[in-house]
Structure 1
């Protein structure tokens, strides 16, 4: 009888220990999953403002605006110095694509908000750089055009995706190879739109859409 009592008590203690360990494991798993979820909504930006090790949220909701400092126009800055652009993107809301205003931080961090100037097309520039600036489903794409000269950059007449500076012609983000602007002739139609560029025994026809 006594031995049976000891056996029952031992089994009860074993069950309690196992239950406690399982509870600790579940709590640790929940904590780890929470950390993973937090990491998933945080992206690393190699060009984050003056700090290549900065980890900044990819976006802020409109309700988070008190956490950001307004710089100029659509640009805001977080406490870490990361730039955000107030923009409108498409979100799946109750099964329907809906336009939602939010703060997007997924763009080139070299932008100077004080001198940033959208051009009449898929480009923008500031005092330092030229940017490919076009609407996408997540808001506006802001990508630096490496090597482009902001002082001389302009769009080709009648176009939104072709541009030029003192060194190159551009088709969206790509340089149109083999054309020196100082030695290239632009051909126009009766509307004053550039239809083609000709130079160095080459001809490049522009899309007229």
Structure 2
């Protein structure tokens, strides 16, 4: 086709050369078309791959954003837990101080109890040693009580007897007095 468009004043050799060149150009053109088609296919593949990579990158970006949000939330949670742990540690320290004070008080109470137990044991020993004295005093008190009761009974009966004796004497005296006045009356008659 190109050979027909060429001017006629060119020599035939040149036309043969041109025709060979034309065939080579056509062959190159076909090769370029093939390469162009391959490039288009590869471009389509690259565009598809790029789109897929873009989608994956967007997915990964969303995932990373979610992870970042989770990490931030976790950081807030960890900070809150750290504050809670710190507060609990302060409470534990204050409770430990209270426990230390209580342990000192318990030790003091133990010392006081030991001293008190020693005193109680000493008093028990004193009471045990004086138990015989107390028993003797109790027996003496019982004897004295019995003796006092006996004296009270005897005193009562003595008063009763004395009253009866006095009543009898008074009766006798009254009889003697009555008989004496009766004899005086008879003497007068």
Length-normalised TM-score, structure 2: 0.25
Higher fraction of strand:
1
Which structure's residues are more often helix, by fraction?
2
